[in-house]
């Protein structure tokens, strides 16, 4: 008869399987000599939960500051370097074509998310199939709302803006100017990406939101999802000079309001540069010069 085992081995209990969190969101941060603001945004993104649901892509648009070494302090990001500033449009396309997520979250440097910002914006898009773009509420350190969202501009309003004024349009949810936005990646793929042949720094976002509206899709404001705006750089700091802005405005107008309207705006804005004794700007606007120099 076999002797009983006085020291039986415990039965092995299988460990629960860890279910990986699917990567759903690609955060695209386009930076041009904004390393301080970029660090603020990346530090906040790293605290997002669950962090595994997102990838962070930083497009370094030809910076000559320490942006080019940002991976040293943030090894979980992916840095996409360009040899010079090709403009926001091409940089956004580089990020979009690289992105793996079904949602793209374009985050300007200097804007800080909360730990659940990305998750809550994603949930909003999941819940409302007719919403193509969702925007968080932008607030400053005093808690004041500082976001800028307007109706899409008429050619006259756009001309006034490019001539040095503020956006003179009525408030609305058609055009969140310079705001952080989360958009369905497919919406950009369906229009064959942003129009980098026509736009440099200025105008491609207008073009995108015009097509969102034209397609009968919605832009929604998530007024219960705040983000902190530490710094909002000027368009000139981003590499947008008056010539690029004039070119972008005239291009947008010609594309969607007719050739004659676009040509009239181009001539008007070129004469404005000439009136400022900017002969180079006059020639640049007429010839269609943009930020990437093409």
Q: What angle do CA 181, 195, 271 make, to 5 degrees?
A: 105
What kind and span of H or E run contains 235?
A: none
Question: Domain check: are 180 and 97 in the same one?
Answer: yes
Residue 11 lies in a domain: no
Question: Domain check: are 179 and 272 in the same one?
Answer: no
Q: Are the beta carbons of 82 and 91 closer than 8 angstroms?
A: yes
- Average pLDDT over the chain, rounded to an integer: 88
Distance CA 145, CA 288 (A): 36
Question: Domain check: are 93 and 215 in the same one?
Answer: yes
Question: Domain check: are 69 and 144 in the same one?
Answer: yes
Give the tens place of pLDDT for each residue, 183-204.
999 999 999 999 999 999 999 9
Question: Domain check: are 246 and 193 in the same one?
Answer: no
Bridge partners (DSSP) of residue 183 are: 104, 133
Residue 4 lies in a domain: no
Q: Are the beta carbons of 193 and 93 closer than 8 angstroms?
A: yes
Question: Domain check: are 164 and 210 in the same one?
Answer: yes
pTM confidence score: 0.88
Q: How many CB atoms lie within 10 A of CB 20?
A: 8
Residue 194, CB half-sphere, CA atoms under 13 Å: how many? 26
Residue 236 has a pLDDT of 45
Residue 121 lies in a domain: yes
Give the mean pLDDT of 252-277: 94
Question: Domain check: are 95 and 177 in the same one?
Answer: yes
Give the tens place of pLDDT for each residue, 112-147.
999 999 999 999 999 999 999 999 999 998 888 887
Residue 1 lies in a domain: no
Residue 7 lies in a domain: no
CA-closest candidate to residue 133, choices 216, 205, 218: 218
Three-state DSSP class for residue 189: helix
Distance CA 225, CA 113 (A): 9
Give the tens place of pLDDT for each residue, 21-80.
678 999 999 998 889 999 999 999 999 989 998 999 999 998 888 888 899 999 999 999
The CATH number covering residue 189 comes to 3.90.550.10
Residue 26 has a pLDDT of 97
Q: What total of structural domains would you count in the chain?
A: 2
Residue 137 lies in a domain: yes
What kind and span of H or E run contains 3?
A: none
Q: How many CB atoms lie within 10 A of CB 195?
A: 18
Per this entry, what is the length of the chain?
294
Last residue of a domain, one of 229, 257, 274: 229
Residue 162 lies in a domain: yes
Question: Domain check: are 131 and 70 in the same one?
Answer: yes
Domain hosting residue 89, numbered range: 25-229
DSSP 145: B
């Amino acid at each position: 008869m076999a002797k009983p085992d006085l020291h039986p081995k415990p039965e092995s209990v299988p460990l629960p399987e860890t279910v990986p969190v699917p990567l759903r969101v690609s955060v695209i941060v386009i930076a041009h000599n904004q390393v301080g603001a970029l660090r603020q945004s990346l530090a906040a993104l790293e605290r997002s939960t669950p962090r595994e649901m997102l990838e962070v892509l930083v497009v370094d648009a030809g910076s000559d500051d320490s942006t080019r070494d940002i991976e040293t302090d943030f090894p979980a990001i992916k840095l996409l370097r360009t040899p010079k500033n090709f403009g926001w449009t091409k940089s956004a396309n580089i990020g979009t074509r690289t992105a793996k997520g079904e949602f793209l979250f374009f985050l300007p440097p200097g804007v800080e998310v909360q730990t659940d910002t990305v998750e809550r914006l994603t949930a909003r898009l999941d819940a409302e199939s007719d919403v193509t773009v969702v925007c968080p509420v932008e607030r400053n350190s005093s808690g004041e709302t500082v976001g800028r969202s307007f109706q899409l501009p008429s050619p006259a309003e756009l001309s006034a803006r490019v001539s040095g004024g503020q956006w003179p349009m009525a408030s609305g949810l058609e055009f969140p100017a310079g705001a952080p936005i989360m958009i369905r990646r497919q919406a950009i793929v369906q229009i064959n990406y942003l129009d980098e042949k026509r736009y440099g720094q200025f105008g491609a976002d207008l073009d995108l939101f015009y097509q969102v509206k034209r397609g009968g899709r919605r832009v929604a404001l998530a007024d219960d999802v705040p983000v902190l705006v530490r710094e909002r750089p000027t368009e000139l700091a981003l590499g947008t000079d008056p010539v690029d802005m004039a070119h972008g405005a005239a291009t947008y107008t010609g594309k969607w309001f007719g050739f004659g309207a676009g040509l009239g705006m181009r001539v008007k804005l070129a004469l404005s540069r000439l009136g400022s004794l900017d002969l180079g700007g006059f020639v640049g606007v007429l010839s269609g010069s943009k930020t990437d120099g093409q």
